[in-house]
């Protein structure tokens, strides 16, 4: 047998992924944030939604002794919501300042393809506990959903109807509809009538009469829970969540750009997106949504699953989100879908995002022991440290940081519970201190450098130019 040629063994690095049908410039409460981000932010096809990063400070506010002492449940709810609103409004200033002052653009100069590998990869891998561990709570629904979604999105993707890849484009909708109907059939037939309460909670589709008790129309409006209250401790804790959502969104933007066949967002575009994300968190606080926002990792993965990286599709979806947010019955209908179904989808979508992060290794020298050390340590600690913080919290009912200063506890417990944030701290520190001057080429900096500025690559104008000719008033920095 003839010795294979070098080009037959390896594949050359590629700026853009192949096989995507639409690029981001194709023209064929979360809804507003998504619309703002796709119009004036990074302009990438990303959905903005609630972030798990805000759970620690929000739970801290809920369990604040000044609120738990209130006897009336409704009054306690109102005071808690006002406190969360106030904390979100104050904390949003972090992203607004870092974004619009271009400080985050300056920080991003320390990022390299090598440093971004663990950050983007753990934006997906770091959510592993929301995948199969949740599927296992109701295997009769979760496992069929996982198998069906893989079959439709991958094995049947070439099936076409009138030259349109219907199965590939709508695999998620088809699978959710089929398995949801199957789950409803099991519920209606009494399959879970004598099952443990935990099983019924994860499998039934008639949870707590959601649909019957929801109003037909409910229009959200600012300050619907009353005037927000401001507390320095709550605000500092929430600032940690805002910083974490900033890091996680940065990794998601990088992944979305790759899956949308765009160039990596230049530094000022990334910073502009963070600024608008801060505006989104401010709106979340004003509308009383209980949680701040970040880029939805699962929807970034969906770009790869459908192979449609269209900004227009996301903008239309934002319109639907705004419309359905006013129809209580429709929201309750979607809320009746067992979360196990979504967990099965997460197994695929989070994995796709993680693999995009790993694809950045092609621009680095993976025969370098320095690079292997940085990626290995950053990824391991990015998984291990948050796991320690989460296990400690479950066992002790509080995080490892447990001092009299509640804001300090919330800050540390929030930051070190996020896998991408830990990975960024470790990877960027090691990458910029360990033989960094002699390792520019190994780190992938020659490839990365041309994407740092707006005019560094001719394709940037096509992808990231503001609409309505606004670049005349806000020229790229």
177-196 pLDDT, tens digit each = 999 999 999 999 988 888 89
- The per-residue pLDDT for 22 is 46
Percent over 90 (pLDDT), the chain: 63
Hey, CA dihedral for 452, 456, 459, 462, is it positive or negative?
positive
The candidate with the shortest Cα–Cα distance to 124, out of 305, 285, 337, is 305
pLDDT band at 14 (very low <50, low <70, confident <90, very high): low
pLDDT at res. 101: 94
Distances 364 to 358, 359, 375, 382, 434 between C-alpha atoms, Å? 11, 10, 11, 20, 15
Instruction: Tell me the helix, strand and coil percentages in the chain, rounded to 5.
Output: 65, 5, 30
pLDDT: is 459 or 441 the higher one?
Answer: 441
229-257 pLDDT, tens digit each: 999 999 999 999 999 999 999 999 999 99
| pLDDT at 36 > cutoff 50 | yes
Instruction: Judge whether residue 149 has pLDDT over 90.
Output: yes
Per-residue pLDDT band for 443 (boundaries 50, 70, 90) equals very high
Instruction: Report the pLDDT value the prediction gives residue 28, as an integer from 0 to 100.
Output: 32
Quick check: 26 pLDDT over 80?
Answer: no
* pLDDT exceeds cutoff 90 at 327: no
The string of pLDDT tens digits covering residues 194-207 is 889 888 888 988 86
Comparison of pLDDT for 469 and 143, the residue scoring more: 143
Spacing of C-alpha 314 from chain mean position: 15
25 pLDDT band, cuts 50/70/90, is: very low
pLDDT at position 361 is 95
Q: Give the per-residue pLDDT at 116.
A: 96
Query: Does residue 131 contact residue 354 with C-beta atoms inside 8 Å?
Result: no
pLDDT score recorded for residue 452: 80
Region 418-446: mean pLDDT is 93
pLDDT (tens digit, 9 = 90+) per residue, 276-324? 999 999 999 999 888 899 999 999 999 999 888 888 889 998 988 888 8
Ranking 90-104, 119-133, 328-342, 426-440 by mean pLDDT, the lowest is 328-342
Mean pLDDT (whole number) for 211-233 = 86
Residues whose CB falls within 8 Å of the CB of residue 120, separated by 6 or more in sequence, listed in order: 251, 252, 254, 255, 353, 354, 356, 357, 360, 420
Give me 411's structure tokens. Answer: 């800050």
């Amino acid at each position: 047998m003839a010795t294979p040629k070098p080009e037959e063994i390896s594949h050359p690095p590629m700026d853009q992924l192949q096989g995507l049908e639409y690029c981001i410039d194709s023209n064929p409460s979360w809804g507003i944030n998504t619309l703002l981000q796709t119009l004036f932010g990074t302009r990438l096809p990303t959905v903005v939604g609630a972030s798990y990063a805000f759970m620690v400070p929000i739970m801290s506010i809920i369990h604040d002794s000044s609120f738990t002492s209130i006897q009336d449940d409704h009054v306690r709810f109102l005071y808690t919501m006002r406190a969360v609103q106030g904390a979100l409004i104050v904390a949003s200033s972090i992203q607004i300042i870092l974004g619009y002052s271009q400080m985050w653009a300056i920080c991003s100069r320390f990022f390299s393809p090598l440093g971004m590998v663990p950050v983007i990869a753990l934006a997906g891998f770091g959510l592993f506990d929301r995948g199969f561990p949740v599927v296992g709570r109701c295997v009769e629904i979760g496992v069929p959903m996982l198998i069906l979604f893989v079959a439709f999105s991958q094995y049947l993707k070439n099936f076409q109807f009138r030259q349109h890849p219907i199965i590939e484009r709508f695999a998620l909708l088809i699978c959710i509809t089929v398995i949801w109907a199957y789950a409803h059939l099991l519920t209606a037939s009494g399959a879970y009538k004598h099952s443990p309460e935990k099983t019924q909670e994860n499998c039934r589709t008639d949870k707590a009469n959601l649909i019957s008790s929801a109003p037909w129309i409910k229009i959200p409006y600012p300050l619907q829970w009353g005037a927000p209250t401001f507390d320095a401790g709550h605000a500092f804790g929430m600032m940690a969540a805002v910083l974490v959502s900033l890091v996680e969104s940065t990794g998601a933007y990088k992944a979305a750009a790759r899956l949308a066949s765009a160039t990596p967002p230049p530094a000022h575009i990334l910073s502009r997106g963070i600024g608008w994300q801060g505006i989104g968190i401010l709106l979340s606080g004003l509308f009383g949504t209980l949680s701040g926002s970040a880029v939805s990792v699962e929807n970034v993965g969906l770009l790869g699953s459908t192979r449609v990286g269209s900004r227009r599709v996301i903008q239309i979806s934002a319109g639907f989100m705004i419309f359905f947010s006013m129809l209580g019955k429709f929201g309750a209908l979607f809320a009746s879908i067992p979360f196990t179904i979504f967990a099965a989808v997460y197994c695929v979508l989070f994995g796709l995002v993680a693999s995009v992060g790993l694809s950045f290794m092609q621009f680095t020298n993976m025969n370098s022991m320095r690079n292997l050390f940085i990626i290995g340590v950053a990824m391991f600690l990015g998984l291990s440290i948050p796991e320690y913080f989460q296990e400690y919290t479950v066992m002790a009912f509080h995080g490892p940081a447990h001092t009299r200063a509640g804001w300090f506890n919330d800050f540390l417990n929030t930051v070190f519970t996020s896998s991408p944030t830990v990975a960024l701290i470790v990877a960027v520190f090691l990458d910029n201190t360990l033989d960094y001057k002699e390792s520019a080429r190994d780190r992938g900096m020659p490839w990365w450098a041309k994407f740092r500025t707006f005019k560094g690559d001719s394709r940037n104008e096509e992808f990231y130019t503001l609409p309505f000719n606004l670049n005349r008033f806000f020229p790229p920095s």
